[in-house]
Structure 1
């Protein structure tokens, strides 16, 4: 195993995906190398945290800057860590033969390098896949867990869409691929009232069109990785406080799919956020940040006006 710290470079501040001044705390950019693959993490330090550091693992189309809009809500509570793992963001390309266990090991490597032996762990969409495997393989690092837009099986929408998206990208038909991506992640307008649905649809479409050739290659490899290695292993999950949530109109990883995953986790709770779909953390940024922050600081989450009823699927399954 080769590990090293490499000099961090300032990434481009374009398309809203680069660095902006932090809401609070000192920001540090770290470059790391794991098993020969360079990757980068971003740390927003909190001098007097209320809880353990919060590690945010986002979706496949997100990078370490995608959570800056949440910082003003979360950085007063804890030190925040976001990361471009190998194969994602500005990190080195990672061949699809490297699976989810490798990415989980990279998260462990990062925490060892940062000197963070115990963290609060958030995983959204694909980030949940990596976060869950990390928690299963390295439970000693995990204090609490929150998953969003989660599932223990591939959505049919995803497996049906991947071949079409891959072919469109390989043919250079980026507009067609962008339209397909929007259909995949956004709920049908008839599913129910979703906050900022039209604005988020435009944002997602524009972000995909603006991807670099490197990012498109990584997107294809990401889908190959998932379909090759799968998204779930029935391994033990640490018995730490856990929460699974999604938007009430999530049509990609439906509420029932999130509920099924929660049922496999000891003492996990489950809820849905009103007027949101799979992109709940974008559509209802303040509310989702409040929910995450409450759970990671052991504050009540029952009876919140923006959530539906909180359930305990694991107890019902038992």
Structure 2
């Protein structure tokens, strides 16, 4: 029978914790789930249940999430990756498969860059390579709505961002997922609103990840085939920073794949984490190579990519500064319509 272990941690003055659902006879190393903006450690539902049949499953409330302390936006995703590494060490997890969803994918990617000895393999869903327009302006609008206490409008706007409303796009459990998300965003507390604002500003103030070092663990990238929040093109682009990456799209899903198609997602993850073939399922598209070597034929070669990664690192200054200086807000809230 599975049991639950809670590990409480402090990192640089910020309190948080992780939850391990222990499988007494695991077939695989632990699987770490790092979620998006409103994903709390105890709310992974069916996906966690399915994965727990094969491995112990570790979920986290990092600083800025759930019941953890609020984390100011001056701390980047690199700091969050350090905090994740710290709590995993405390919990005794020295080697793991890691899944990152949406915002959590940026943290998981940083973890694989900074602590390659920890990450056995890495899977990311709904994680773009960068925050581009018009998404940047849309995220700023969510902050403006919260600061103006226009909660109902905030909830409907967030749901419109995260879900594809095209009637031609068949989304499994689409209406149910929209109701769930509307309830989550509409019921936001003042404490969670403050965390949402800081977490969103974090995305806008800092690079999601560095171009170097390249991630050397096996990587699976993807999202739902109808995702127009983090588009397939943006998600696939992360392969440029990996030496062994593949990409696919889950059918009949958009951004919230863990809610819409948890069975298909669990099947895909378990195949990938166990080293089995990920081809041949009707639940997702053909899995294609998209790593730095694959891009060799598309652009100017691996040597260019590696040199560009080094150039980006040098331009960015010292490697992986855990605490970065404060940056002014991109726009005053009152200037947003």
Q: Please indicate, yes or no, whether the TM-score normalized by the shorter chain is above 0.5.
A: yes
* Residue 66 of structure 1: how far off its partner (Å): 2.3
Match of 1:36 among 6, 10, 13: 13
How well do the aligned residues superpose, as a CA RMSD in angstroms? 1.3
State the TM-score, normalized to the length of structure 1.
0.89
Match of 1:111 among 88, 92, 95: 88
Match of 2:148 among 144, 152, 171: 171
Match of 1:82 among 59, 65, 83: 59
Please give the per-residue CA displacement for 1:231-255, whole angstroms capped at 9, x wherever unaligned.
1310123322211111111101111
Task: Determine the structure 2 residue equivalent to 1:278.
Answer: 255
Match of 1:200 among 177, 198, 220: 177
Query: How many residue pairs end up in the alignment?
Result: 295
Task: Determine the structure 2 residue equivalent to 1:221.
Answer: 198
d(CA) in 1 for partners of 2:214, 2:3? 33
Does 2:100 correspond to 1:123?
yes
Match of 1:140 among 109, 112, 117: 117
d(CA) in 2 for partners of 1:159, 1:237? 25
State the TM-score, normalized to the length of structure 2.
0.85
Paired residue secondary structure (1:139): coil
Contact 2:40/2:66 (<8 A) preserved: yes
Structure 2: gaps spanning 5 or more residues: 297-337
* Residue 113 of structure 1: how far off its partner (Å): 0.5
Paired residue secondary structure (2:40): coil
Contact 1:276/1:284 (<8 A) preserved: yes
Task: Determine the structure 2 residue equivalent to 1:259.
Answer: 236
Does 2:294 correspond to 1:316?
yes
d(CA) in 2 for partners of 1:198, 1:116? 38
Larger relative contact order (Cα-Cα within 8 Å, sequence gap ≥ 6): 2
Task: Determine the structure 2 residue equivalent to 1:233.
Answer: 210
Contact 2:77/2:209 (<8 A) preserved: no
d(CA) in 2 for partners of 1:191, 1:136? 39
Task: Determine the structure 1 residue equivalent to 2:324.
Answer: none
Does 2:4 correspond to 1:27?
yes
Paired residue secondary structure (2:8): strand
Task: Determine the structure 1 residue equivalent to 2:328.
Answer: none
* Residue 262 of structure 1: how far off its partner (Å): 2.2
Contact 1:161/1:180 (<8 A) preserved: no
Q: 1:238 to 1:263 in 2, by over 3 A?
A: closer
Contact 1:142/1:240 (<8 A) preserved: yes
Q: 1:150 to 1:191 in 2, by over 3 A?
A: farther
Task: Determine the structure 2 residue equivalent to 1:21.
Answer: none
Does 2:66 correspond to 1:60?
no
Runs of 4+ off more than 6 Å: none
Paired residue secondary structure (2:288): coil
d(CA) in 2 for partners of 1:117, 1:230? 27
Please give the per-residue CA displacement for 1:81-119, whole angstroms capped at 9, x wherever unaligned.
000101111101111111111101001101210111111
Paired residue secondary structure (1:120): strand
Match of 2:227 among 246, 250, 258: 250
Paired residue secondary structure (1:177): helix
Paired residue secondary structure (2:117): helix
Structure 1: gaps spanning 5 or more residues: 1-23
Does 2:237 correspond to 1:268?
no
d(CA) in 2 for partners of 1:232, 1:117? 22
d(CA) in 1 for partners of 2:139, 2:287? 33
